[in-house]
Amino acid sequence: MTAATYDLVIDQGSDFAIDLTITEGGTAKNLTGYSGRAQIRTTHAATSTSASFTVTIVNAANGTMKLELQAATTTALAAGRYVYDLEIHTANDATVKRLIQGSVTINQQVTR
């Protein structure tokens, strides 16, 4: 399974959440036994993360997940363009799959 590309736009200073349903071959992927992780970086090669999403598997059997960033986290991100990806993994990273990748645009906050 090749990672899908999905670009995100996030408002600086606001909470951000997106619900995802992961499918494979047209059916919901069973996420039982998996955990998720997702990071934002300035570039693909950047050695440090700009932010990490909170990843929650909402319903493992139905393949539903949620990615979230708190307002304090988005406030700390400078306006501009970043990259991110979302991976699922089993214990001890025995299996790792990148599901989604793309750009993140942070729209600058005006009201503070």
State the total domains in the chain: 1
Predicted TM-score (pTM) above 0.85 = yes
Region of residue 73 (left: phi > 0; alpha: psi -120 to 50; beta: else):
alpha
11 is a domain residue? yes
Q: Residues 97-104: what's their mean pLDDT?
A: 98
Summarize pLDDT for 68-81 with one digit per residue, the tens: 999 999 999 999 99
Q: What φ, ψ does residue 91 adopt, rounded to 5°?
A: -55, 140
pLDDT score for 42: 99
87 close to 97: Cβ distance less than 8 angstroms: yes
112 is a domain residue? no
Q: Residues 103-110: what's their mean pLDDT?
A: 98
85 is a domain residue? yes
Q: What is the CATH number of the domain that holds 86?
A: 2.60.40.3350
Summarize pLDDT for 11-52 with one digit per residue, the tens: 999 999 999 999 988 999 999 999 999 999 999 999 999 999
Residue 1 has pLDDT above 80, yes or no: no
> What is the domain extent for residue 81?
4-107
44 is a domain residue? yes
